[in-house]
């Protein structure tokens, strides 16, 4: 290869390098700052497209994300307004709205910003939650508390060119030692309540049984009394009927009673009776009318 060819290749490579250092693109998800000898020149480029800058080491670019970003804060412990300890796990969502101010106030970029966010979130959560009792953090009041924390954090991050869109507590738990203590206390309370409910149940059971037994005794007594009254009335009615029947036909009544006696004496079978044949008991054996008595 001749020297001219080598020089041409070197020239082409240099030209390509210069072109790559001259043109740059802006992505829709980014905003671009142009720095000249380290100082920011002009306004951030936010519109997507192809742009030109002074090549080589005169100007360079800094790309900054313009999307909504998430940040997970480190878990930390706070003391609520009622002196209860609480372990908080929070997160934040933010976006860089003033790229030039952000680049000037946060020279370390995203790493420095996350450190600042962690400190701000920790501080503002402590400041707000330390003035309210624990139950406020664990109930519907938490949404209002989070809005106040977001407002406070945003006031300070806007000075950095960063808008804090939201700060939320992802998890709020009691410390492990406190959790066990609370669990034991809740267990004791529930056991005491269960014992009280069982005692009240036993007392109610005994009361219901006593009432039922008393009502059963009263019902039985009333039924016995009514039964005796009915039996008395029935016996009286039967006696009256027998009396009327006896008064109408004394012979038939005597015959009927004697037949009932025979039925009871001989109906069961296997009975043995030693009586004289001329006994009055056998008068109807000799005369159906019962008029002829057996001979002595």
Per-residue pLDDT reduced to its tens digit, 241-251: 777 767 776 66
Give the integer Cα–Cα distance in Å for 213 and 201. Answer: 18
Q: By the 8 A CB rule, do 30 and 64 touch?
A: yes
Chain segment 160-205, per-residue pLDDT in tens: 999 999 998 887 776 655 556 656 677 788 888 888 889 888 889 9
Helix (H) or strand (E) holding 90: strand 85-96
Q: Are 95 and 29 in contact (CB under 8 A)?
A: no
CA distance 21 to 55: 5
The order of strands in the sheet holding 59-65 is: 39-45, 30-36, 59-65
pTM summary value: 0.53
Confidence class for position 93, pLDDT limits 50, 70, 90: very high
* Cβ atoms of residues 166 and 143 within 8 Å: no
Query: pLDDT band at residue 158, thresholds of 50, 70 and 90?
Result: very high
| Token code pair at residue 63 | 């790309």
Which of 141, 46, 181 shows the shortest CA–CA distance to 100?
46
């Amino acid at each position: 290869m001749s020297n001219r060819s080598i020089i041409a290749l070197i020239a082409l490579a240099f030209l390509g390098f210069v072109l790559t250092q001259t043109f740059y693109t802006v992505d829709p998800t980014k905003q671009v700052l142009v720095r000249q000898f380290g100082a920011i020149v002009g306004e951030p480029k936010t519109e997507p497209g192809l742009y030109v800058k002074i090549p080589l080491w005169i100007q360079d670019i800094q790309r900054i994300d313009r999307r909504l970003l998430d940040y997970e804060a480190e878990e930390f412990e706070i003391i609520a307004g009622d002196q209860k300890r609480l372990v908080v796990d929070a997160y934040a969502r933010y976006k860089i709205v003033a790229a030039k101010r952000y680049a000037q106030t946060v020279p370390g970029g995203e790493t420095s910003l996350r450190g600042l966010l962690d400190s701000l979130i920790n501080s503002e959560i402590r400041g707000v939650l330390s003035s309210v009792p624990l139950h406020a953090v664990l109930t519907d009041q938490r949404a209002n508390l989070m809005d106040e924390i977001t407002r406070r954090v945003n006031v300070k991050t806007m000075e950095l060119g960063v808008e804090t869109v939201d700060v939320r507590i992802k998890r709020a738990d009691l410390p492990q030692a406190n959790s066990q203590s609370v669990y034991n206390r809740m267990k004791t309370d529930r056991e005491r309540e269960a014992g009280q409910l069982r005692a009240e149940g036993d007392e109610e059971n005994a009361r219901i049984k006593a009432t039922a037994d008393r009502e059963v005794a009263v019902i039985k007594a009333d039924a016995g009394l009514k039964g005796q009254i009915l039996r008395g009335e029935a016996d009286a009615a039967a006696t009256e009927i027998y009396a009327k029947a006896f008064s109408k036909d004394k012979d038939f009544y005597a015959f009927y009673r004697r037949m009932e006696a025979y039925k009871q004496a001989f109906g069961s079978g296997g009975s043995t009776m030693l009586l004289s044949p001329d006994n009055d008991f056998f008068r109807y054996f000799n005369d159906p009318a019962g008029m002829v008595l057996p001979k002595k």
